[in-house]
Homo-oligomer: A and B are copies of this chain.
Amino acid sequence: MNTNKINTLFGQPISVINIGLNSMAASVEAQGVPVVDLDWRPPVEGVPSLQRTRQGVDIESANQEVCSRIKQGRPTLVGMGIARDVIPGMHKQMILHAGPPITWERMCGPQRGAVMGALIYEGLAADEAQAERLAASGAVEFSPCHHHHAVGPMAGVVSASMPVFIIENKTFGNHAYCTQNEGLGKVLRYGGLGPEVYQRLKWMETDLYPTLDRALQTLAEGIDLRSLIAQALHMGDECHNRNRAGTSLFLRAISPALARTNQDNETLARVIEFIDRNDHFFLNLSMPAGKALLEPAEGIAGSSIVTVMARNGTDFGIRLASQPERWFTAPAGQVKGLYFPQFSEQDANPDIGDSTVTETAGYGGMAMAAAPAITKFVGGTPQMALQNTLEMYEITFDEHEHFTIPALNFRGTPCGIDVRKVLETGILPRINTGIAHKKPGIGMVGAGILRAPHQCFQDAFDSLAAL
């Protein structure tokens, strides 16, 4: 590499605006010249227009049915339970994880950390070394959350004893599951390990869960999550990486029942404090709400709509409504973002977690225009947040009816990622996400934004075209 940096011309400092490939900017930047990298893409050529499958299914009609089902869904928190009792297929030696299927050997650091922590929490291993041996031994069955109607943020690990929320889509009767959110920092889902992680998980099992569960049992109608998400989008949340309003509204909705079923004032106070101190608490409700919305749309032949989008920290995977059993994967990307003090991009694991279910269901990054204040957490500017949403309308098939964005004059959020549009426009879904340390045991290091990788959309498109 040329180490003679040329960053002046006729004595004036050079600045470059790059509207070509990113690699051009990189080579100029290597010369020490500041570069503004315009988000320009060459026009996409050679993408065949795809109106019907080879078997003659009209793709527009199929997509209409898919989006109609997504829009009709009414996800409702109806109760809680222990994973082994309520999640189909769950057993004591099984660990669920985020993203597409993966073996222990290919798991990234935070994913391994979370698995090890779960084995210790379950009492299946006494310490980290034992947990690592057990995980590698083949005695533990790993399975994606998405294969069990479940979703998990970041590592997304669910083990047999963990309490989970049960969400019912009241329109279609299907169910989805998700654990309770632990908070930020050194927590299991970011691969964090240590006594405080296990103790917190135990308290969530012995105190938080029974308290919430008792309250929920008295609410005959459950808690309408579609309504809470719709309101939160009018209160500055996008319901993926900003959930301050959602968490507040959830507390409002459940607090009268918490009071009526109270058995011990101090336990109730701690439960409320735990939720109040974690603005992400609602994420573990907005995610399974998305899962509950999307599953009834699976199995519609000929649809080019994405109904699963998830990452395990090694691979990014998507599934189509028309091929709900098949994963199309590509390497997980690197997140650009804001880091907690002491941490930097050097520490970051690639993109991880099932939380992209929110973008898939039509909020999260899709609704970023509703959440200008999120830029204090994930970086960027309010203007960029607005543009993100406007851009996403280019690759979605429909607009939500129940989820709207006040700043866009109450326009419905972009809904239903269409792989055809992704290929035609060259625009890839934008994702807001947290960032885990790449080593097991450490936990969260920041939050940021990235795009989904192109290849899995290409492969999904090719597969649809071949049917």
Within A361-385, the residues touching B (CB, 8 Å) are 372-373, 375-376, 381-383
Query: Which B residues are in CB contact (< 8 Å) with A255?
Result: 251, 255, 272, 276
Interface: A51 (CB within 8 A) = no
Cα distance A245–B269 in the bound complex, in angstroms: 21
Chain A 220-246, CB-CB to B under 8 Å as 1, else 0, gives 000000000001001111000000110
Interface: A406 (CB within 8 A) = yes
Cα distance A383–B406 in the bound complex, in angstroms: 10
CB of A406 within 8 A of CB of B269, answer no
Closest B residue to A266 by CB, please name it: B260
Given A255-B255, A372-B406, A373-B406, A262–B262 Cβ distance below 8 Å?
A: yes
Interface: A249 (CB within 8 A) = yes
Nearest-neighbour CB distance to chain B for A267, whole angstroms, equals: 9
CB of B245 within 8 A of CB of A272, answer no
CB of B235 within 8 A of CB of A256, answer no
Cα distance A251–B252 in the bound complex, in angstroms: 7
Interface: A407 (CB within 8 A) = yes
This chain's copy number in the assembly = 2
Closest B residue to A248 by CB, please name it: B248
Of the candidates B245, B261, B408, the one whose C-beta lies within 8 Å of that of A245 is B245
Query: Which B residues are in CB contact (< 8 Å) with A417?
Result: none
Query: Which B residues are in CB contact (< 8 Å) with A262?
Result: 259, 262, 265, 268
Nearest-neighbour CB distance to chain B for A245, whole angstroms, equals: 5
Cα distance A260–B276 in the bound complex, in angstroms: 15
Query: Which B residues are in CB contact (< 8 Å) with A373?
Result: 234-235, 406
Closest B residue to A260 by CB, please name it: B269
Interface: A325 (CB within 8 A) = no
Residue of A237, A244, A408 with highest tally of chain B CB at under 10 A: A244
Interface: A39 (CB within 8 A) = no
Cα distance A265–B214 in the bound complex, in angstroms: 14
Chain A 377-411, CB-CB to B under 8 Å as 1, else 0, gives 00001110000000000000000000000111110
Closest B residue to A273 by CB, please name it: B256
Residue of A236, A237, A244 with highest tally of chain B CB at under 10 A: A236
Of the candidates B245, B249, B382, the one whose C-beta lies within 8 Å of that of A406 is B382
CB of B251 within 8 A of CB of A269, answer no
Query: Which B residues are in CB contact (< 8 Å) with A261?
Result: 265
Chain A 264-294, CB-CB to B under 8 Å as 1, else 0, gives 0110111011001000000000000000000
Query: Which B residues are in CB contact (< 8 Å) with A375?
Result: 406
CB of A407 within 8 A of CB of B409, answer no
Nearest-neighbour CB distance to chain B for A447, whole angstroms, equals: 16
Closest B residue to A250 by CB, please name it: B248
Query: Which B residues are in CB contact (< 8 Å) with A235?
Result: 235-237, 244-245, 248, 373
CB of B272 within 8 A of CB of A236, answer no
Query: Which B residues are in CB contact (< 8 Å) with A408?
Result: 382
Closest B residue to A409 by CB, please name it: B382
Query: Which B residues are in CB contact (< 8 Å) with A276?
Result: 252-253, 255-256
Residue of A235, A262, A372 with highest tally of chain B CB at under 10 A: A235
Closest B residue to A261 by CB, please name it: B265
Cα distance A266–B256 in the bound complex, in angstroms: 9
Cα distance A245–B406 in the bound complex, in angstroms: 15
Query: Which B residues are in CB contact (< 8 Å) with A406?
Result: 236, 372-373, 375, 382
Cα distance A236–B373 in the bound complex, in angstroms: 10
Cα distance A237–B253 in the bound complex, in angstroms: 19
CB of B259 within 8 A of CB of A269, answer yes
Query: Which B residues are in CB contact (< 8 Å) with A257?
Result: 269
Apart from A248-B251, A256-B273, A382-B407, list 16 A-B contacts with CB within 8 A.
A234-B236, A235-B244, A235-B245, A235-B373, A245-B245, A251-B255, A255-B272, A259-B259, A260-B266, A262-B265, A262-B268, A373-B406, A376-B410, A381-B409, A382-B408, A382-B409
Q: 30 interchain pairs (CB within 8 A)?
A: A234-B373, A235-B235, A235-B237, A235-B245, A236-B236, A236-B245, A236-B406, A248-B248, A248-B252, A251-B251, A252-B272, A252-B276, A255-B272, A255-B276, A256-B269, A256-B272, A256-B273, A257-B269, A259-B259, A259-B262, A259-B272, A261-B265, A262-B265, A262-B268, A373-B406, A375-B406, A382-B408, A382-B409, A382-B410, A407-B407
The 7 closest A-B pairs by CB, nearest first: A248-B248, A372-B406, A259-B269, A234-B373, A373-B406, A259-B268, A235-B236
